[in-house]
Amino acid sequence: MLLIIIKNITFHTDDIVDFDHLPSYKFYEQLTEDTSESINSKYYNGLNDLTTKYPWINDILKKLRRNISLVQNKHDFNDEFIKKGCFDLHYWLHKEVFNHLESKARYSEIKHVITKIQEVWTNVIDTEFSKDDYKCYPDKKLYINMGFLQEIKDLFDFFEDFEVMKKEIIDDTFNSCNKYVEYIRQRIPAYYVWRDQCKVEGSTCKRYIDNYMKYHPASIASQLNVFTVIMAYAYKPCYNDVYRIFVDGKRRRKRQDALYQEIMEKIELEEAEQDLLSARAADATPGSRLYIKHDKSRLKYYFMWRRIVYLYENVFPYILLVIGAFIIFYIMKKLGPNINYEDIKLLNDSDESLDTNFDESSYQLSYSSSVS
């Protein structure tokens, strides 16, 4: 069982909640299916020593050729998630290699195997898909770290599944709540800690997702019968669960690619004695060999400017929001569960809460894995 713990967010990657009717599940299942297809030996002539050492690579190579074709074919259907499909291909390859080597090899060996397989990947694209408008080449900027990749996949899966779930939730809010609450519990933390990176040029999210604001959860809430939800809140525990998931998610500390970049560079430089998934960034504490010092000054001026713009553009709408929030709060006090004003501010994406959620100096990451 693999357990990934990252700053108060726990990912049980062996127990991911999925639904077979959701698009993210359907596509990834295709990537994992067995295949009888063969791959031309010209693509991997330079891998003979590696395939002799690790015979399981032959199976990966057969699936790789098939999977590249699956991603490239998404373009023929004008699939807006073709780039996300490319990320899924990266995730699949990394997971396959990690599953075979995580308890046996050091980081340098894992990286070497992935890099050599990616050379075959590049050859397939150049030979068979050179005329395609979009080409899913290996992304050298992705960190060879399953904790990072799992978080990003959770985020991207949420985006891809959003429209299907949105329709179900609007049509049948209560039953959809019971159905998706555990799915939301796993994905929403990733959404809130990585969302801000989706507008940063060059970031992992920006490279694979074109318009992340299309998948804002608030766009679902605005189409629900708010009065009905409020009245049912007191005697339907699922609504309270979802509410707490979102509030807790909003309180998570924001993350960025640079955090992983610095940690991975230091792990690679020192060639830690432990395998990659066990690498602890006790890492981000002063005095440790993986300590990362962050500059807060730019953040201070950034948030100061954000607040000025916010006050100028939103002061009057916000006054109305506060009045509405107190009305809702009063109703909920009468009905039972306690929703406080600070939580309402938080869920409304106000800048008052954003500043307190971004403290880069306190990042701590840890990974633990065990094979059962």
Tell me: the pLDDT tens digits for 81-120?
A: 999 999 999 999 999 999 999 777 788 899 999 999 999 9
Q: State the average pLDDT over residues 296-308.
A: 45
pLDDT > 90 fraction of the chain, expressed in percent and rounded: 39
Q: State the average pLDDT over residues 60-69.
A: 94
Domain of 59 in residue numbering reads as 1-295+362-372
From 356, 371, 362, select the one nearest 300 (Cα to Cα): 356
Give 34 or 325, the one with higher predicted confidence. Answer: 34
**pTM score, whole prediction:** 0.73
pLDDT of residue 350: 44
**CB–CB of 57/64 below 8 Å?**
no
* Averaged pLDDT of the chain: 75
Between the alpha carbon of residue 36 and those of residues 31, 58, 59, 64, 96, the distances in Å are 13, 12, 10, 12, 18
Confidence at 284, pLDDT banded by 50, 70, 90: very low
Give 307 or 40, the one with higher predicted confidence. Answer: 40
**CB–CB of 57/117 below 8 Å?**
yes
pLDDT of residue 179: 94
**CB–CB of 37/62 below 8 Å?**
yes
Residue 45 has pLDDT above 50, yes or no: yes
Residue 137 has pLDDT above 90, yes or no: yes
What confidence tens digit (pLDDT) does each residue in 190-244 have?
999 998 899 899 999 999 998 898 998 888 877 887 777 777 777 788 888 998 8
Structural domain contains residue 354: no
Structural domain contains residue 207: yes
Domain count, the chain: 1
Classify burial at 14, counting beta carbons within 10 Å of its beta carbon; exposed 0-12, middle 13-18, buried 19 or more. exposed
Structural domain contains residue 356: no
Residue 310 has pLDDT above 60, yes or no: no
Structural domain contains residue 327: no
The Cα–Cα gap between 60 and 44 comes to 12
Residue 331 has pLDDT above 60, yes or no: no
pLDDT of residue 240: 86
pLDDT of residue 259: 75
pLDDT > 70 fraction of the chain, expressed in percent and rounded: 67
Q: State the average pLDDT over residues 176-182.
A: 93
pLDDT of residue 342: 54
Confidence at 257, pLDDT banded by 50, 70, 90: confident
Structural domain contains residue 260: yes
Residue 61 has pLDDT above 60, yes or no: yes
pLDDT of residue 266: 73
Element (H, E) at 3: strand 2-6
Structural domain contains residue 128: yes
pLDDT of residue 78: 64
Q: State the average pLDDT over residues 22-31.
A: 95
**CB–CB of 365/283 below 8 Å?**
yes
3-class state of residue 195 by DSSP: helix
Structural domain contains residue 349: no
Confidence at 352, pLDDT banded by 50, 70, 90: very low
Residue 77 has pLDDT above 70, yes or no: no
The Cα–Cα gap between 241 and 244 comes to 5
Structural domain contains residue 211: yes
Residue 143 has pLDDT above 50, yes or no: yes
Considering only the C-alpha atoms of the chain, give the largest distance between any 2 of them, rounded to a whole number of Å.
72
Residue 251 has pLDDT above 60, yes or no: yes
Residue 289 has pLDDT above 70, yes or no: no
